[in-house]
Amino acid sequence: MKPAFLKSSVALATLLLAGLSSAGGAKAEDLTLCWAAWDPANALVELSKDFEAKSGHKMKFEFVPWPNFADRMLNELNSGGKLCDLLIGDSQWIGGAAENGQYVKLNDFFAKEGITMDNFIPATVVGYAEWPKGTPNYWALPAFGDVVGWTYRKDWFSRPELQEEFKTKYGRDLAVPKTFAELKDIGEFFQGRDIDGKTVYGAAIYTERGSEGITMGAMDVLYSFGFEYQNPDKPYDMEGFVNSPSAIAGLEFYKTLYDCCTPPGSSDTYMSENIDAYKSGQVALQMNFAFIWPGIHADANVGGDKSGYFPNPAGPDGKQFAQLGGQGISVVAASSKQDAALEYIKWFAQPEIQNKWWSLGGYSALRSVVEDPGFASSQPYAQTFLDSMAIVKDFWAEPSYASLLQASQKRFHDYVVAGQGTSKEALDGLVKDWTEVFEDEGKL
């Protein structure tokens, strides 16, 4: 029997599909959808078979591995290429794509089709659809909600001998950490420990230098320590916010976590490396985006009751935030098949399709899906997803996003992994780098 939330809004979906089949009488097209190459993309291929059957259009897919995704797709957009009719682009691209005319603005289309952003998780609307931020100007439909969270070896945590040893040493139960300080204790407890004749380690975290990895990881900690991108009363005023004492302490903590608790060979790790470390039984804790949880749960070695999930812990002052991931789906302005691409977005926005998206392993951002009473218990990680999406922050979405990211990647990696300088020097340097970027843009 389907859970209740999979039965919801069937009548509405039927009406929408009836309209879809006659949307402008458009001829059948071959549409190409571009995205990253990962498990959710495979789920979208399966989901899209329904669109092909209902619309008569045929779907092609261009999926690019994450380390190359940004370069490949941003080059495509910047060159005016016609490979992609639809693009599920990263959240940070929205500003540049909007200001450079690379995405179709969707406000009129949404109004015509009765699609309202009030029906989506607010953080995903801000993160994936809006530009400028805080204004009702929409360039994407929230497509895949994602956020950095944690996976842990629930079976290891429950071992009586480890429970006893941990409580003797730390004076509390070996349990899901509520703070980063508690997470570090757990990492140190497992670091170099023998479990079932195998040496294991504390935590797999993000350290990758080439694309965005160490920034996504460090920010996941920095937010909860008090980092701010800018003065809330003066845009692009970063001195004392990016490099505040609390932000400096947060970056120091991230380096400490790297030094104390990661497996050997962790100097350039991101999503796939952390998945491998966790699935192979190397680590007790794994930092990673929520998209991995369906695969972890289904894994023969660490799945089922062997693993648990928890949101990003709180910092020393009780602040608790998490790095937003995820993407919106946009119509590429250079496409000659915009009408058919808009049909796809109309189809994808339907509640019944969004319910099926969740059931296949996609993370719906539609409120009727995630707020359904049956959602939180539908998967072992569903409640953690909800809790995590309630505390998200995101990186700059400015048109100069790539330059801003390159600066943070270098500053963070040089300090955390290479051990160059101090945390204060790294963040002071980052203020300098980012200030130069915004000066070049004429924003300072």
User: What Å distances lie between residue 236 and 142, 227, 284, 378, 405, CA to CA?
Assistant: 27, 14, 39, 42, 15
Instruction: Report pLDDT for 25.
Output: 47
- pLDDT for 250 beyond 70: yes
Instruction: Report pLDDT for 416.
Output: 98
**Residue 26 confidence class, pLDDT cut points 50, 70, 90:** low
Angle formed by the axes of helices 39-55 and 10-20, to 10°?
60
- pLDDT for 122 beyond 50: yes
Between these two residues, 23 and 166, which has the higher pLDDT value?
Answer: 166
Indicate the average pLDDT of the chain: 94
Question: Measured between alpha carbons, how far is 268 from 206 in angstroms, rounded to an integer?
Answer: 8
Mean pLDDT of 144-149: 98
Structure token digits, residue 379: 């998967």
Q: Report CA dihedral (268, 270, 272, 278) to the nearest 10 degrees.
A: 90
pLDDT tens digit string along 304-326?
A: 999 999 999 999 999 999 999 99
Read off the pTM.
Answer: 0.92
Are the C-beta atoms of residues 186 and 177 closer than 8 Å to each other? yes
Are the C-beta atoms of residues 116 and 256 closer than 8 Å to each other? no
In the chain, DSSP finds a helix count (H) and a strand count (E) of 20, 10
Instruction: Report pLDDT for 67.
Output: 87
Percentage of the chain lying above the pLDDT 90 cut: 93
pLDDT tens digit string along 353-404?
A: 999 999 999 999 999 999 999 999 999 999 999 999 999 999 999 999 999 9
**Residue 32 confidence class, pLDDT cut points 50, 70, 90:** very high
Percentage of the chain lying above the pLDDT 70 cut: 94
Backbone angles phi, psi at 252, to 5 degrees: -60, -40
Instruction: Report pLDDT for 1.
Output: 42
CA 422 centroid distance within chain: 29
- pLDDT for 244 beyond 90: yes
Between these two residues, 308 and 1, which has the higher pLDDT value?
Answer: 308
pLDDT tens digit string along 280-302?
A: 999 999 999 999 999 999 999 99
Q: Is 204 helix (H, G, I), strand (E, B) or coil?
A: strand
User: What Å distances lie between residue 342 and 8, 85, 153, CA to CA?
Assistant: 24, 10, 43
Question: Measured between alpha carbons, how far is 253 from 247 in angstroms, rounded to an integer?
Answer: 10
Name which of 207, 203, 229, 204 is nearest 217 in CA terms.
207
Helix (H) or strand (E) holding 59: strand 58-64
Are the C-beta atoms of residues 121 and 367 closer than 8 Å to each other? yes
pLDDT tens digit string along 316-360?
A: 999 999 999 999 999 999 999 999 999 999 999 999 999 999 999
Structure token digits, residue 172: 């509390």
Give the N- to C-terminal CA distance of the chain in Å, as an integer: 59
Instruction: Report pLDDT for 12.
Output: 44
pLDDT tens digit string along 59-90?
A: 999 999 998 999 999 999 999 999 999 999 99
Own/partner pairs, 374-381, CB within 8 angstroms, 24+ separation: 374/3, 374/4, 374/5, 375/5, 378/3, 378/5, 379/293, 379/294, 379/297, 380/297, 380/308, 380/309, 381/290, 381/293, 381/294, 381/297, 381/309
